[in-house]
């Protein structure tokens, strides 16, 4: 979904709930957010505080180079 304002994106990550990725059990968005922090070194915020418990929040208030690097790290962490 294309954002309508601000500089945040809220992807739905519920696809990963109930799965284990590289030894990390993903029960909810908090687990997925922690997985990204620990495995990909990418910080996100869960959507719980914003009324979207199946989502995580990415800020794209960064350079294009930094965003591309973060997405590359996430892709690598999920594909291992």
pLDDT digits (tens, 9 = 90+) for 41-51: 999 999 998 89
Give the start-end residues of each E strand in the chain. Answer: 8-9, 19-21, 24-26, 45-46, 56-59
Element (H, E) at 67: helix 64-79
Q: What angle do CA 80, 41, 9 make, to 5 degrees?
A: 95
Other residues' Cβ atoms within 10 Å of the Cβ of residue 37: 12
pLDDT in tens, the chain (80 residues): 666 667 888 899 999 999 999 899 999 999 999 999 999 999 999 999 889 999 999 988 889 999 999 999 999 999 97
């Amino acid at each position: 979904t294309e954002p309508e304002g601000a500089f945040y994106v809220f992807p739905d990550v519920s696809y990963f709930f109930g799965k284990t990725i590289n030894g990390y059990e993903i029960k909810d968005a908090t687990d997925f957010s922690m997985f990204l922090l620990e495995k990909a070194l990418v910080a996100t915020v869960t959507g719980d505080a914003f009324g979207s418990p199946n989502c995580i929040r990415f800020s794209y208030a960064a350079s294009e180079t930094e965003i591309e690097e973060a997405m590359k790290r996430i892709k690598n962490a999920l594909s291992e």
